[in-house]
Amino acid sequence: MKLNTEQVAFFKANGYLMVPAAMDVQLCAEAQDLMWDALPASARLVRSDKATHVGPFSQADESFDSEHIRAGFRWQLRTVGTSQTLLNLVYSDAICAMAQQLLGDSPLTRPVLNGGTMGRFGPAWPGGPTDPAQGNEGARGIYFTLPYGDKAREPDACHTDGHPFQLGIVGLLSDVPKDGGAFKVWPKSHQRLYPTFQMQYDQPRVPYYDHLPSHKGIIHSQAYLEEVAKLEQDTQAVECYGSMGDIVFWHHRTAHMAGHNYTDIIRQAVLADFWTTDLDSSRLVPPQPNMWADWSTEIQANDGTYSAKFAQSQGLGTP
């Protein structure tokens, strides 16, 4: 499976690309089963009883284990990130071919069957987030978002990920309607944010110390913070909703957020990162005048133009 010129153009210009039906639906169904099978038998959340699907998780069902989080409206299973099912689903020949087409000559780093998974070393610091790159040899895992029920509506807030990689994917394991918690992206943000970092594909971090608790984690430049604030004002986010098996590719520096789920259906997705074997050297290089210099000659040569019809199919220009 190859991306056509218009798809490559759209990704280059907007920092994301939805590709319908890129994942095998049978494998999507198997991944759903992995998620539900991981739930304790005693849980109040019951697959066959939709009335129990509305969040937040009851206290009895909560888990703060970094490898299997169930808290609030988030349900994240990471222990399956290197299972045969997820490797077949995410690192299929079709998806890897498209990723390689964008990323160029340096080969993709391959996942390791039953290898290390995200979260096995716990959060990045006490009470902090989990680093998706630490000890992870496969997909990030399966991420569900429970329906918000009567939770008050919240404004959108975007961020970028600090850990090193080049290309992300979010794949839908079931149909996700509009307002159903799909991944949200800020079009063209990758072009605006890439120059605000000190390193192309990585970010400096302050170590955590118990006795110096005020500063910890990734550091953002002032230019980055100002640009993110502007993006939230001047750019309409696009919600990457769709059907079981659809995926969205997104550039490392694309501003995004996990969507809010205002429907009564659980948002079911798989998340993974792609990077090439030369990332260890390219990640520390400062932003380049040509932000695509490490990417494929095909994307570098592409002029980034696409039709209005295609833009509409990607959620741009629709009310």
Do 44 and 61 meet the contact criterion of CB atoms below 8 Å apart?
yes
Q: Which is nearer to Fe ion, 186 or 241 (CB)?
A: 186
Min CB(183)–Fe ion separation in Å: 9
Find where tokens 């997705």 sit: 269
Chain residues 213-252 in contact with Fe ion, contact rule CB under 5 A? none
Q: Look up residue 215 and give its two tokens.
A: 């500063």
Q: Which is nearer to Fe ion, 106 or 268 (CB)?
A: 268
Min CB(258)–Fe ion separation in Å: 7
Residues 6+ apart with CB under 8 A from 302: 5, 8, 9, 12
Span near Fe ion by CB under 5 A; candidates 48-56, 87-95, 155-163, 189-197: 155-163
Min CB(217)–Fe ion separation in Å: 13
Residues 6+ apart with CB under 8 A from 99: 108, 167, 169, 249, 274
Site string for Fe ion, 156-195 (x = CB under 5 A): -----x----------------------------------
Do 202 and 283 meet the contact criterion of CB atoms below 8 Å apart?
yes
Min CB(159)–Fe ion separation in Å: 6
Burial track 46-58 (b if 16+ CB lie within 10 A, e otherwise): eeeeeeebbbbbe
Q: Which is nearer to Fe ion, 45 or 239 (CB)?
A: 239
Min CB(153)–Fe ion separation in Å: 21
Q: Name the β-bridge partners of 176.
A: 242
Q: Which is nearer to Fe ion, 161 or 273 (CB)?
A: 161
Q: Say how many CA atoms lie within 13 Å of 214 toward its Cβ.
A: 0
Q: Which is nearer to Fe ion, 104 or 184 (CB)?
A: 184
Min CB(48)–Fe ion separation in Å: 32
Helix (H, G, I), strand (E, B) or coil at 268: strand
Count of residues of this chain found to bind Fe ion when the rule CB under 5 A is applied: 1
Find where tokens 């978002």 sit: 145
Q: Which is nearer to Fe ion, 249 or 306 (CB)?
A: 249
Chain residues 18-77 in contact with Fe ion, contact rule CB under 5 A? none
Verify binding: residue 273, Fe ion, rule CB under 5 A: no
Min CB(121)–Fe ion separation in Å: 19
Q: Which is nearer to Fe ion, 161 or 239 (CB)?
A: 161
Q: Name the β-bridge partners of 169.
A: 249, 272
Task: Name residue 217's amino acid.
Answer: G
What is the C-alpha to C-alpha distance for residues 186 and 255, in angstroms, rounded to an integer?
5
Residue nearest Fe ion (C-beta atom): 161
Under the rule (CB under 5 A), what is the footprint of Fe ion? 161
